[in-house]
Amino acid sequence: MKTKCYKLNQKIKGIFIKHGMSRIHAKISSNAIIQSELFGLPSHGLSRLKMYCERIKRKLINIKPKIKIKNISQSISHIDANNSIGFVAANIGIKKAIKNAQKTGFGLVGIKNSGHYGLSFFYAEQAVKKNLMVWCFTNAPPAIAPYGARKALFGTNPICFGFPTGNKIPFIFDMSTSMINRGIIRRAEKLGLKIPDGVALDKNGKPTNNPKKAIKGVQLPIAQFKGSGLAWMVDIVAGLLTGANHGGNVKDPFDNLTKPQNVGHLFIVIKPSIFIGKNYLSQIKKNINNVKRLPKSNKIKRILYPGEKKYMNYKKNLKNGIDIPKNILEEINKLNAFK
Amino acid sequence: MKTKCYKLNQKIKGIFIKHGMSRIHAKISSNAIIQSELFGLPSHGLSRLKMYCERIKRKLINIKPKIKIKNISQSISHIDANNSIGFVAANIGIKKAIKNAQKTGFGLVGIKNSGHYGLSFFYAEQAVKKNLMVWCFTNAPPAIAPYGARKALFGTNPICFGFPTGNKIPFIFDMSTSMINRGIIRRAEKLGLKIPDGVALDKNGKPTNNPKKAIKGVQLPIAQFKGSGLAWMVDIVAGLLTGANHGGNVKDPFDNLTKPQNVGHLFIVIKPSIFIGKNYLSQIKKNINNVKRLPKSNKIKRILYPGEKKYMNYKKNLKNGIDIPKNILEEINKLNAFK
């Protein structure tokens, strides 16, 4: 049975409010969760709700955070999120980076003491909708073994890049540096599903399709030392640079129920007109057209730019509603009954 | 027979001077070429010298460029390289980005009308040696087919990231977004070598180990749509944003002998102390140590951070000299005889 997302959003917002969150923070958080479902990425959606609520109950997520913004210059700001839920910290952060970029052509915001912020896409989109170019980086708890090591240390540390296209579908490229994102494995564990070949090893270093074994083992980075290097880069710029945890010290939100995560984020926002003025719009259209009219490989109907598939999922899921697996629905109902 | 690099550098510099270049530009260019050889990356070294000289003779590389630097703000500068050799344009660009960052915490420099600049490492190292964090991006002529296409359009578009470590070996991660860099294929073609499995397809879409066929076909990006997306991102930020060629229009320096390349570069330089002060040095040491002391996979003696292997090659090759394949040596001697 399909569930319509508007009602679901109200319900999730209600759950966060029941757990003590302010209306505005609850709205930001439920929007982020529902957007992941609409984009067709349930790994970052409802399957995480119970974890967020659990961390709120244990005061590992601070529902009354005193978020401090320090302006280093007109372009650069530093945010101490005071262990707020990641969605709220990142939402404040991207808005600040956008303002700085609108003022000076360039905005750089580093955030520490934050948590898992869902999809980078959610923040990149805000900048792109204001006709700005954007990079979003966040680190994450250990999942990937560095190249040459047998133990996980880097997170799946995504890289997200957005550029305005002048039409309603922005160019937003959002990739984890692991073969698949950890949320897919967590969700497969919850739903008793297998994970694909070639994405993870068990704790003895053997390939596995079992999500439980993968979580105790290591995830594989993309392209061996290249993926490992990209994950390391993200750990440095999002974690080390901002004063957040890094080097394997970000706490796992599911497994560590004693300490706040202290995830770090870095947002870089740039006016795409700084060098070539408004021509950037005609140029990006030309660029995308050049790619789209290439001869296609046999398996493909249409060449898409990053963001198009998510947008199509969004439209479809908004209209038809989404499927919620039975045990996740039960979790939601239990959380909703919480007093 | 090994050749010592000091003497070789003088010879290469002399060749550029014979071709009409100023002493200072010849020195920058020969240093960049020799450094690639010392790092153990001959794909970006001597095997390209004949191509550079050919382009100078045909006035596709401007040896008396009027390079214009426009300051958009104290942090942001735009450079029109006037078809200078890429080494010179990029060298001016990184120095400007470093200055801007030293002044304001952050430097952004976009460069258009440039050419192939060799290894990004060469420029990243300059920033890191000044205790700055750096990203270098450059686009390149078509080599990779976008995900879903059968024809090359993106370059091998490298991503390079550097961070100071406080010791003599900087952290510099420099990767092409293709399985291997194009220089390796060009050099294999020149030397009659095979290329590895799984890195390229011929023009009919079949896997090939033949460098000639690979050049007429397509190179494969890392990690399928992820590598394709990263290459697209680099094309946008280095090419489109800066006003250089992009979207498949960068000219191939070997194959196109009628037009300047109009490659674009983007350098982002950031003070690593902006958020956490001088602690960044103790933190990067801790970060690297955490990785290095992980249990190693069986094949590996020591876990290295990006940049370490290049540094070891450098030391060894500086001491012992380098091997120059016979037909590349003949090319150099012919170029040296040029009057």
Residue B149 and residue B92 share a domain: yes
- Whether residues B268 and A272 touch (CB distance < 8 A) is answered with no
3-state secondary structure of A204: coil
pLDDT tens-digit readout, B221-251: 999 899 999 999 999 999 999 999 999 999 9
B124 found inside a domain: yes
Look up the CATH number of the domain holding residue A44.
3.30.1370.60
Q: How many domains does chain A have?
A: 1
What would the mean pLDDT of A126-149 be, rounded to a whole number? 96
Cα angle, residue B318 at apex, residues B315 and B322 outer, rounded to 5°: 120
B137 touches chain A (CB under 8 A): no
Query: pLDDT-based confidence at A239, cuts 50/70/90?
Result: very high
What would the mean pLDDT of A114-128 be, rounded to a whole number? 97
B76 found inside a domain: yes
Residue B111 and residue B29 share a domain: yes
What would the mean pLDDT of B289-311 be, rounded to a whole number? 93
For chain B, give the percent of residues with pLDDT over 70: 100
pLDDT of residue A87: 98
Residue B322 has pLDDT above 80, yes or no: yes
What span, in angstroms and rounded, lies between the C-alpha atoms of A115 and A88? Answer: 9
Residue B163 and residue B248 share a domain: yes
Nearest residue in chain B measured CA to CA from A278: B241
* Per-window interface: A 233-292 vs B, CB < 8 A: 233, 235-237, 240-243, 246-249, 268, 270, 272, 274-276, 279-280, 283-284, 286-291
- Whether residues A229 and B149 touch (CB distance < 8 A) is answered with no
Query: pLDDT-based confidence at A189, cuts 50/70/90?
Result: very high
Question: How large is the ipTM?
Answer: 0.96
Residue B234 and residue B200 share a domain: no
β-bridge partners, B335: none
- Expressed as residue numbers, the domain containing A93 is 2-178+221-276+312-337
Residue B229 and residue B215 share a domain: no
- Whether residues B149 and A240 touch (CB distance < 8 A) is answered with no
B256 found inside a domain: yes
List the one residue out of A238, A26, A36 whose CA is nearest residue A118.
Answer: A36
- Whether residues A110 and B275 touch (CB distance < 8 A) is answered with yes
B68 found inside a domain: yes
B283 found inside a domain: no
B228 found inside a domain: yes
What span, in angstroms and rounded, lies between the C-alpha atoms of A43 and A121? Answer: 14
For residue B261, what are the CA distances in angstroms to A71, B51, B78, B139?
41, 13, 18, 10
B209 found inside a domain: yes
Q: Which residue type, as a one-letter code, is found at position B285?
A: K
Residue B234 and residue B196 share a domain: no
pLDDT tens-digit readout, A49-58: 999 999 999 9
Interface test with A, best of B291, B303, B304, B308 (most A CBs within 10 A): B291
A303 found inside a domain: no
What would the mean pLDDT of A104-108 be, rounded to a whole number? 98
- Whether residues B226 and A303 touch (CB distance < 8 A) is answered with no
Residue A338 has pLDDT above 80, yes or no: no
Query: pLDDT-based confidence at A258, cuts 50/70/90?
Result: very high
pLDDT tens-digit readout, A269-294: 999 999 999 999 999 999 999 999 99
Residue B133 and residue B42 share a domain: yes
B143 touches chain A (CB under 8 A): no
Residue B214 and residue B148 share a domain: no
pLDDT tens-digit readout, B30-77: 999 999 999 999 999 999 999 999 999 999 999 999 999 999 999 999
pLDDT tens-digit readout, B181-191: 899 999 999 99
Residue B238 and residue B152 share a domain: yes
Residue B203 and residue B249 share a domain: no
Residue B211 and residue B153 share a domain: no
Residue B125 and residue B201 share a domain: no
Query: pLDDT-based confidence at B297, cuts 50/70/90?
Result: confident
Nearest by CB: A240 against B223, B287, B304 = B287
